[in-house]
Every structure is written in C-alpha cells, then in structure tokens.
Amino acid sequence: MYRSLGLSIAVAVFASDLISKWLIVNVVMDPARVIDVFPFFNLVLGYNRGVTFGLLSSGNPIAPYLLSGFALLVVGVLARWLWRSTVRLESAAIGSIIGGALGNVADRLADGAVTDFLDFYVGGYHWPAFNLADVGIVLGVALFLVTWWSGETQRDDGTAPKV
C-alpha cells in the first residue's frame, strides 16, 4: 500500500499552496500590481469566487460553503480510494488532487474566494490566473491518465483495485 506516499504528497501540495498564497498576498503583492517575470509569465493578484475559469461565481454568500462542501465530499471519496490503492503512481495522483482541493477549500472558507496569482500568456492571450493548488489538481489528473494509459492500474496480482 502506498497510503503514506499519497498523504505526504497531499500535505506537501496543501502546505506549499497555503504558504505561496500567504507570501503573495502579504509580501509580494503589497501593494497589488502586475510583476513581469518572463515574457510569457506574470505574477498577479486575483480572487476567484467560482471554480475553474470563474464558473459558478454567482456572488451568493452561501456559494463558498456549497463549493467547499462539494470539494470536501470529493476529498472524502478520494481519501477512501487512497486508503485502498495499491498502485504507487495512482496514490501519488490521489494525494496531489487531495492536497490541491484542500488548499482551495481552506482559501475559500477563509476569504470567500480562491487566491490566484500565476498568469501565463502568449501575446495578448492570458490563460486564467491560477495557484499551486490548481497545479496539484491538474498534475494529479495527469498522473491518473498516465496510470490508466500505461496499464499501471493493476495490482501486483494482476487484478484491478476496488474503489
């Protein structure tokens, strides 16, 4: 079982997300501005009250709690999956998603929105700003795809794990 791997990755993603957001808000972006880092990358300060790309950002005061509740439900399902996982890469993927989800939940419950600060762009086209929790979630999904495409979702005895 690779529970400890998944849990370690979840803690690392969660902690790095919270620390990076604190540094951006309290140190780097004081005052708030656009910081050009590379010709394709800026540091910015934005608050997303919805989910991916600002979807579901209704401004309803209960929305952060509903979105957080849903995210925690998903974390619970993933934690159960992690507990039963016998595949190293799958456990890493689950941990990465859990850490990212919890980072955004903590931010949303504390501030009513998720702090975003990574801004990648090409010419005048800017990808929506995001944060390290989002990176953890996307990386976790990518690792899942790698395990499924590589056939690494099988346990040592050749059977598929039960979720």
Give the pLDDT confidence of 82-91 residue by residue, as tens digits: 999 999 999 9
Q: Catalytic residues, which ones?
A: 116, 134
User: What pLDDT was estimated at residue 22?
Assistant: 98
Place of tokens 């990808």: 127
Nearest of 105, 127, 125, 126 to residue 115 by alpha carbon:
105
Predicted confidence at residue 163, as pLDDT, reads 47
Phi, psi values for residue 35, rounded to 5°: -110, 115
- The Cα–Cα gap between 103 and 111 comes to 12
Q: How far apart are CA 163 and CA 154, in angstroms?
A: 12
Buried b (16+ CB within 10 A) or exposed e, 34-61: eeeeeeeebbbbbebbbbeeeeeeeeee
What is the pLDDT, as a whole number, of residue 79? 98
Extract the residue ranges of the chain whose pLDDT is less than 50: 163
Domain boundaries of the chain, sorted by first residue:
3-150
Per-residue model confidence as pLDDT tens digits over 107-127: 999 998 999 999 999 999 999
